Amino acid sequence: MRWITNIYRLGVKEIYSLLRDPVLMGLILYTFTFAIYTVANGVRTELNNASIAIVDEDRSALSTQLIGAFLPPYFKTPQVIDQRAVDPGMDAGQHTFVLDIPPDFEADVLAGRNPVVQLNVDATAMTIAGNGTTYISSIINAELLKFASRSSGVVALPVDLRVRAKFNPNLDSSWFMAVMQIINNLTILAIVLSGAAVIREREHGTLEHLLVMPVTASEIMLAKIWANGLVIVIAAVLSLQFIVQGLLGIPIMGSIVLFVLGSAVYLFAVTAMGITLSTVATTMPQFGLLSIPVFVVMNLLSGGATPLESMPPGLQNAVQVLPSTHFIKFAQAVLYRGAGIDIVWPQLLATAAIGMAFLALALARFRATLAAVR
């Protein structure tokens, strides 16, 4: 009971210390409000307002029909340009797509000669280039089918493909970006706050005060873990309720209680990782430089930014040691698909096991740090 009481009281002290730090409180407020809203509204992965230019060397009814098929909000109003303006325009970044309709295009289509239409794509805008190429190909095929049906009585295709998008019917990227940004912010704040708590004790000289008290290294470390984890979980839940569901109007399909449980397990692992990093660094600038590559790797290689299946097999196996890999699977299943504990328990178990490993490493490093202070 004394061990539990000490952890509780030290944790309360940690919360008071955090509440009195205006910089860290401002960081938490910004991270779970403005940062969520702006990323959800500003970062778009679907095609939207793309610039397209068309070289119309045919000037026929069919080419005019194709030009009129590119409509907002997917495309800006098409610009009809000369062939000589294609390369300068794309070099200057004025056009993402340039469609070149050859001479005698309509006549060749009617004669069945299979003319070639060239689509030039600025592939430096990788996401827009990939999505836009698919949209443009579908638009051209649809317009050619309409034209052929009117001119020769060709019937429609014998197969009617019906697409049903589950969990995000309108394929709205803001639904994905808002929730994933909360997950990313959970990770970076857990690392920063837990690590800063240890380094703040060292820089303010209060670590020596703790050493003369009848407390152990495990009590000090676990107090920092639960206190900082509690603050982050509360901030994340409030962000889901008021920013994601309220301000952005994004529905949450699953159980918030189950998400809180998974977040608590995940934060247990990540705050232990942050304390480990704080025992390696001696100052806040060093800790900041050390935590940045750790967070970047966890963010990019955990399956949130890119699918795990697209990574090399060896890398897929390597990232399984990261708690974020399993938590992202858990959070997406719960918040997007409404999964229950019977589906996500393997991810919870894996995250808890990784957290125990990081806890043992953090405790060993933290004890070494306290021994060095003595």
- Kindly report, residue by residue over 14-34, the tens digit of the pLDDT: 888 888 888 888 988 999 999
pTM, two decimals, is 0.79
Q: What is the pLDDT of residues 341-361, one digit of tens each?
A: 999 999 999 999 998 998 888
Residues in the chain predicted with pLDDT less than 50, given as ranges, are none
Q: Where do the domains of the chain lie? A: 2-43+172-373, 52-152
**Secondary structure string (H, E, C) spanning the chain:** CHHHHHHHHHHHHHHHHHHCCHHHHHHHHHHCCHHHHHHHHHCCCCCCCECEEEEECCCCHHHHHHHCCCCCCCECCCEECCHHHHHHHHHCCCCCEEEEECCCHHHHHHHCCCCCCEEEECCCCHHHHHHHHHHHHHHHHHHHHHHHHHHHCCCCCCCCCCCCCCCCCCCCHHHHHHHHHHHHHHHHHHHHHHHHHHHHHHHHCHHHHHHCCCCCHHHHHHHHHHHHHHHHHHHHHHHHHHHHHHHCCCCCCCCHHHHHHHHHHHHHHHHHHHHHHHHHCCCHHHHHHHHHHHHHHHHHCCCCCCCHHHCCHHHHHHHHHCHHHHHHHHHHHHHHCCCCHHHHHHHHHHHHHHHHHHHHHHHHHHHHHHHHHC
Distance (Å, rounded) from C-alpha 274 to C-alpha 323?
A: 13
Q: What is the pLDDT of residues 304-322, one digit of tens each?
A: 777 888 888 888 888 899 8
What pairs with residue 55 in β-bridges? 100
CATH 1.10.540.10 for domain 52-152, yes or no, is no
Phi, psi (deg, nearest 5) at residue 287: -65, -40
pLDDT at 372: 65
- Do residues 267 and 232 touch, judged by C-beta distance below 8 A? yes
Distance (Å, rounded) from C-alpha 211 to C-alpha 227?
A: 19
Phi, psi (deg, nearest 5) at residue 361: -65, -45
Contacts of 357 (CB under 8 A, 6+ apart): none
Distance (Å, rounded) from C-alpha 246 to C-alpha 41?
A: 14
pLDDT at 20: 86
